[in-house]
Structure 1
Amino acid sequence: MDCFMTSFVLFLMVLFPALCSSQDTFTCSRATFYGSPDCLGTPTGACGFGEFGRNVNGGNVGAVAALFRNGAGCGACYQVRCTIPHLCTDDGVNLIVTDHGEGDHTDFILSPRGYTKLARPNMAAELLAYGVVDIEYKRISCQYPGYNLMFKVHEHSKFPEYLAIIIIYQAGQKDVTAVELWQADCKEWRGMRRAYGGVWDMPNPPKGALNLRFQVNGADGQQWVEVNNAIPSDWKAGVAYDSATQLS
């Protein structure tokens, strides 16, 4: 009988993770939170989003470990919900990845605002006391009603000899895996470097208004998206330029 019970427990230990990752495409993990004086995100996140990363999505943002994927995971959106029935809501929180971080066997380190959104009404303090909670998560499409895709010139850019950009307000569920600028005099596309996180850069960029294309990977495969005159000839550091388009 003891042998049977031991085998049964081992069977359940193997079965439960498989069930968790297959039900409605959710994956089991753990989550914690980081300190923040205003409960929002941090402007110094590893994705390079700056103030955008602090305020976007109402501050419901987070850092990830393996899901960071060398920066390709920056800007991805996830539904995260904790699994303590009396304490956690059914829907959890929809958050945006703005940083890289590793906790105690966690996939997510949430902003305080994002973490408390996991809790039922009036239960936030009790949830915070846990520190680390079991969760389940799945990737979802990002949505930015009223916003087009934008190309922000990073504050470290220096006109005209060094250009770094960040793609923000990217809707949908696709990763940016390459960015290129059109070099008109050579009639060729020049690849930008992923400097870090979601920041792409190039020394001595082409002169004039910049045509840009970026490669995205998603469930429906790989494609290039081209935007003409994406960045004006007199671009300025810290300014975000509207693409007048959006990914579906």
Structure 2
Amino acid sequence: MKKQLCALLGILLFPVLLCASTFTDSRATYYGTPDGYGTPSGACGFGEYGRVVNNGYVSAVSRALYKDGAGCGACYKVRCKNPQLCSYNGVDVVVTDYGEGDRTDFILSPRAFSSLALPNADKELFNYGVVEVEYTRISCKYPGFKDQVSYKINENGNYPYYLALSVLYVSGQNDITAVELWQEDTKQWKPMRRAYGAVWDMTNPPTRGPITLRFQATTSLGYTYWVRSANAIPKVWKAGATYKATVKLITK
């Protein structure tokens, strides 16, 4: 394992940890999908987003990296350690699922696993099944989502009695560790419950809309920030819909 000094260089809307990478030794394997992309049925609850985000370069991760769902949406660089078969550049993946393999921390989509290989060496790499790797947490970057996120309403939502949602396209090195809704009638923030993975829910959500949300982002160094998005979800929201919102850093 390599150990190098890291420093927090600034506070942005989404705090980004800028540092020399520290890589951790591990193992990786892959799961099968017909098109090589991810799966919409992952434990994070992302749905179709979990299949195609990052062009399908996604991964299921071990319990230690899944973090009871807080690790959903995290980004990692994974590099295979076989120089005869693998590229030093490795692959950048987004966590969309949970899975335990043969002492592995990563179960990659076929697309991501093949990208570990040198040109024309991917078939031989697949024959190995499990490979030695090293990995490091990196900042997520989503073009078109500067100072913005999306909220995906879960298909199980039932307006106006039950609201469940996921926060998507969170940049930087941040884990979503709390989500709250503004209760206009009581002038208070009301916490949502982590239902599973990256899905947060609430029974009897506010009916006076649109809905204002804030969420807690915790960096990989343990620093915690609150980010708010006003009018994030319309008063009459729809199950399965996705709403894009501008966000800003706040003090709780």
Instruction: Say yes or no: TM over 0.5.
Output: yes
1-structure distance, mates of 2:186, 2:247: 27
Q: Is the 8 A contact 2:230 2:247 kept in 1?
A: no
2-structure distance, mates of 1:184, 1:29: 48
Q: CA deviation at 1:192?
A: 0.2
Corresponding residue number in structure 1 for 2:93 = 95
Corresponding residue number in structure 2 for 1:173 = 173
1-structure distance, mates of 2:81, 2:222: 31
Q: Does 1:210 align with 2:207?
A: no
4+ residue runs over 3 A deviation: none
Corresponding residue number in structure 1 for 2:28 = 31
Corresponding residue number in structure 1 for 2:194 = 194
Amino acid at match of 2:237: W
1-structure distance, mates of 2:178, 2:45: 16
In the alignment of these two chains, the number of paired residues is 228
| Structure 2 gaps, min length 5 | 5-20
Larger C-alpha radius of gyration, 1 or 2?
1
2-structure distance, mates of 1:132, 1:191: 41
Amino acid at match of 1:222: T
RMSD: 1.3
TM-score by length of 2: 0.88
Corresponding residue number in structure 1 for 2:59 = 62
Give the structure with the larger helix fraction: 1
Amino acid at match of 2:231: N
Amino acid at match of 1:209: P
Q: CA deviation at 1:111?
A: 0.4
- Tell me the alpha carbon deviations over residues 69-104 of structure 1, each in whole angstroms, 9 at most, x when there is no partner: 000000000000000011110110000000000000
2-structure distance, mates of 1:38, 1:68: 25
Q: Does 1:40 align with 2:40?
A: no
2-structure distance, mates of 1:197, 1:138: 21
| Structure 1 gaps, min length 5 | 1-19
**SS state at 2:49 partner:** helix
1-structure distance, mates of 2:248, 2:60: 25
Q: Does 1:52 align with 2:10?
A: no
Q: Percent sequence identity over matched residues? A: 58
Query: Taking structure 1 as reference, are residues 141 and 121 closer, same or farther at Cα in structure 2, changes over 3 Å only?
Result: same
